Amino acid sequence: MANSDKTFYSATSTKKDWQDVVSDLSFKLEKGSGTLGIIYLSEDLLVSLEHIIEQLKIETSCNKWLGAVGYGVLSNFGEFYGETSATVLLLDLPEESFKIFSGNENVGSAIKESETKWLERAHIPLAITHADPRQPTTTEAIKNLAQETNSYLIGGLTAATGESPHISDQSGKAISGALLSPETCEMLTGLSQGCSPISETLTITNSQQNIILELDGKPAFDVLLEVTGEEFLDNLQKMGGTIFVAFPIPGSDKADYTVRNLVGLDPQNKVIAISENISNGDKLLFCRRDKESAVKDMYRMSEDLKRRIGKKQIRGGVYISCAARGPNQFSDSAREVDIIKETLGDFPLAGFYANGEISRDEIYAYTGVLAVFL
């Protein structure tokens, strides 16, 4: 399983032993070269991550690496969910066109101070970002990185229990990755929500922490039933896996929102609880998440990217999908990678199943984020 075009190369391995993984990847990459390497691995390979990187540096002559550990990997060779797997993407870019980073809540400020001239030239760089959800400064670090470097983030939260679930200069860092300048490589991104809105935008008029008492002045539970109809009246538990709450992102120029779970329904007191604290005045809408809406939105994202790409050639791509998607939302006849390839063609692609997805400066759930390099 290996693929290449003019400049980027990809390979995927499902070997069990880390040394076999490196040998397999190196063999499949053959004459592939690059100045920046991206690697994604399943959790069981985490203990050997440092050895894998060091050996790949020798085998590929690529000395700059970034990557993360997830519940499995995705590539143009397939989807490997919950099984031993590793995938690599080699990007052949000018050394001066990217900057490796890692840090905590002030990571963006530090980059801004040390790379002032580079950031002035690299107008709105793309930041391939991997973050550890266990670190208390992760959310702040993502915001700081986007704001201070004026970059557009794409990436995901690691999904592993080990000490160093992403590649950085030392363990315990909230985020790591690389800033890529659009000067030498054009980059386009897409976001697939996997959900379909089923209500108008509503206003929270009474709430306590994560409990919504009223929406638009009406009991929250009654409003929810008005939206969903009679489908879940006899099975409210089923609603929790199908209906979600979405928060529109302020200032977005498109229908962009972050999705959160329903975690409690109280018909007697007519309130609902969600997986995030809210405040009076916050806006939300209800959305539905099922296989049909996930597949439909995946095609929408891919076709939108195809229109924007036009006749240009795709040199490679990175795709991060939520661990709750994968085989839980996509069947063998319409998987995420298959939809991407059907719409955009076959090109070197690497990605992983994440604990949350990063797009722009937000952490999402149940989404797929795609970046293509032209």
pLDDT tens-place string over residues 196-227: 888 999 999 999 999 999 999 999 999 999 89
CATH of domain 196-288: 2.40.30
Q: How far is CA 168 from the centre of its chain?
A: 18
Averaged pLDDT for residues 49-75: 94
Instruction: Give me the pLDDT at residue 333, please.
Output: 61
Which structure tokens are listed for 264? Answer: 């409690």
Asked whether residue 3 carries a pLDDT value surpassing 60, the answer given is: no
Averaged pLDDT for residues 16-38: 92
Contact 325, 366 (CB under 8 A): yes
Instruction: Give me the pLDDT at residue 96, please.
Output: 92
Instruction: Give me the pLDDT at residue 5, please.
Output: 45
Instruction: Report which residue type is found at 219.
Output: P
Asked whether residue 83 carries a pLDDT value surpassing 80, the answer given is: yes
Asked whether residue 341 carries a pLDDT value surpassing 90, the answer given is: yes
* pTM recorded for the entire structure: 0.85
By C-alpha distance, which of 4, 16, 67 is closest to 41? 67
Lowest mean pLDDT among 126-140, 255-269, 298-312: 255-269
Residue 253 class from Cβ within 10 Å (0-12 exposed, 13-18 middle, 19+ buried)? exposed
Average pLDDT, the chain: 89
Asked whether residue 101 carries a pLDDT value surpassing 60, the answer given is: yes
Q: Coil, helix or strand for 265?
A: strand
Task: Give per-residue pLDDT as tens, 159-198.
Answer: 887 677 999 877 779 999 999 999 888 999 999 987 888 8
- Between CA 187 and CA 209 the distance in angstroms is 40
Asked whether residue 4 carries a pLDDT value surpassing 50, the answer given is: no
CA distances from 148 to 16, 141, 152, 185, 324 (A): 41, 10, 11, 22, 31
Q: Coil, helix or strand for 164?
A: coil
Domains in the chain: boundaries: 2-193+293-373, 196-288
In 150-252, where does DSSP find H-type helix?
220-228, 236-239
Residue 374 DSSP one-character state: -
